[in-house]
């Protein structure tokens, strides 16, 4: 393969990030129009071709609509946006109430999605996958009570990843990666909420046992219950923070 050197991030992508941040933070609101290409190019200190590349990136995100002869309209990203914007919203929105709503909507999707993934894992159960999941679980159990929040989080993600990998599904792995990106952002802001307790480990062990026993329905139910209970606790803690900040 003839690969060539590339820049870490080119100018058009940098401009796209700036425009995306301005729209998500609602410095520019839905229904408004961006300045003309000429004025934007001047403001960013670039040429119009580079600017157009940046605008196409933002348009693909569902944030703007470029109309021939009609300017550049800012769209309602809450209706027109795509899932790749979730992480950017959590990082850039200045509306804390909205940010927490996005986080919890994402966690609810995670709960339902991972429950279905556990079901499929149990359906496709084999000894090699069971051993991998068991190993990840044992590693978590060996760190009960650790004060290291980052370690707690990484071990949880490792356990979940082994379950996703056991499905042998590329699409489900992509789903997990997307949800993990969002969870990473939540962890960065609320790392103190993560811990490894005996109760938490027992709940994860029930997930493992259902997969080990090749019981898809039980795997779905205990995984859904695990995340519903976890999210309920997180919701109450998030609510305290949200009420204090809004």
Residue ending a domain, among 62, 81, 100, is 81
Q: Is there a single domain that holds both residue 25 and residue 136?
A: no
CATH number of the domain encompassing residue 72 = 1.10.10.10
Residue ending a domain, among 81, 115, 137, is 81
Q: In tens digits, what is the pLDDT along the chain, a chain of 246 residues?
A: 444 444 456 889 899 989 998 998 888 999 999 999 999 999 999 999 999 999 999 999 889 999 888 899 999 988 888 887 887 787 777 777 788 788 888 888 889 999 999 999 999 999 999 999 999 999 999 999 999 999 999 999 999 999 999 999 999 999 999 889 888 877 887 788 788 999 999 999 999 999 999 999 999 999 999 988 887 877 776 666 555 554
Q: Is there a single domain that holds both residue 52 and residue 173?
A: no
Q: Is there a single domain that holds both residue 99 and residue 220?
A: yes
pTM above 0.85?
Answer: no
Contact between 90 and 190 under an 8 Å Cβ cutoff? The reply is no
The pLDDT of residue 235 is 73
In order, the DSSP letters of the chain are -------SS-HHHHHHHHHHHHHHTTSS-TT-BPPPHHHHHHHHTS-HHHHHHHHHHHHHTTSEEEETTTEEEEP-HHHH--GGGHHHHHHH-S-HHHHHHHHHHHHHHHHHHHHHHHHHHHHT--HHHHHHHHHHHHHHHTTTT-S-HHHHHHHHHHHHHHHHHHTT-HHHHHHHHHHHHHHHHHHHHHGGG----HHHHHHHHHHHHHHHTT-HHHHHHHHHHHHHHHHHHHHHHHHHHHHHH-
Residue 172 structural domain: 85-245
- 52 is a domain residue: yes
Q: Is there a single domain that holds both residue 118 and residue 76?
A: no
* Residue corresponding to tokens 């809450």: 78
- 6 is a domain residue: no
Q: Is there a single domain that holds both residue 25 and residue 122?
A: no
Q: Is there a single domain that holds both residue 98 and residue 187?
A: yes
- 159 is a domain residue: yes
CATH number of the domain encompassing residue 182 = 1.20.120.530
Q: Is there a single domain that holds both residue 64 and residue 135?
A: no
Q: Is there a single domain that holds both residue 43 and residue 108?
A: no
Q: Is there a single domain that holds both residue 99 and residue 204?
A: yes
Q: Is there a single domain that holds both residue 142 and residue 106?
A: yes
The pLDDT of residue 245 is 53
The pLDDT of residue 3 is 45
The count of structural domains within the chain is 2
């Amino acid at each position: 393969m003839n690969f060539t050197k590339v820049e870490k991030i080119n100018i058009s992508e940098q401009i796209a990030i700036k425009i995306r941040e301005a729209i998500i933070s609602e410095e520019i609101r839905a229904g408004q129009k961006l300045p003309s290409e000429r004025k934007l190019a001047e403001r960013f200190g670039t040429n119009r071709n580079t600017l157009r590349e940046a605008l196409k990136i933002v348009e693909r995100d569902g944030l703007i609509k470029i109309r021939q002869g009609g300017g550049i309209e800012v769209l309602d990203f809450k209706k027109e946006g795509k899932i790749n914007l979730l992480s950017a919203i959590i990082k850039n929105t200045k509306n804390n109430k909205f940010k927490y709503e996005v986080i919890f909507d994402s966690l609810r999707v995670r709960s339902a999605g991972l429950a279905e993934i556990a079901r499929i894992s149990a359906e496709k159960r084999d000894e090699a996958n069971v051993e991998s999941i068991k190993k990840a679980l044992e590693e978590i159990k060996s760190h009960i009570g650790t004060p290291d929040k980052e370690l707690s989080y990484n071990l949880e993600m490792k356990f979940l990843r082994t379950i996703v990998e056991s499905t042998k599904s590329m699409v489900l792995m992509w789903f997990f990666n997307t949800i993990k990106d969002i969870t990473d952002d939540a962890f960065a802001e609320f790392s103190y909420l993560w811990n490894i307790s005996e109760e938490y480990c027992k709940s994860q062990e029930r997930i493992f046992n259902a997969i080990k026993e090749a019981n898809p329905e039980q795997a779905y139910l205990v995984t859904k219950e695990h995340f519903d209970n976890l999210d309920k606790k997180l919701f109450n803690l998030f609510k305290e923070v949200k009420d204090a900040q809004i």
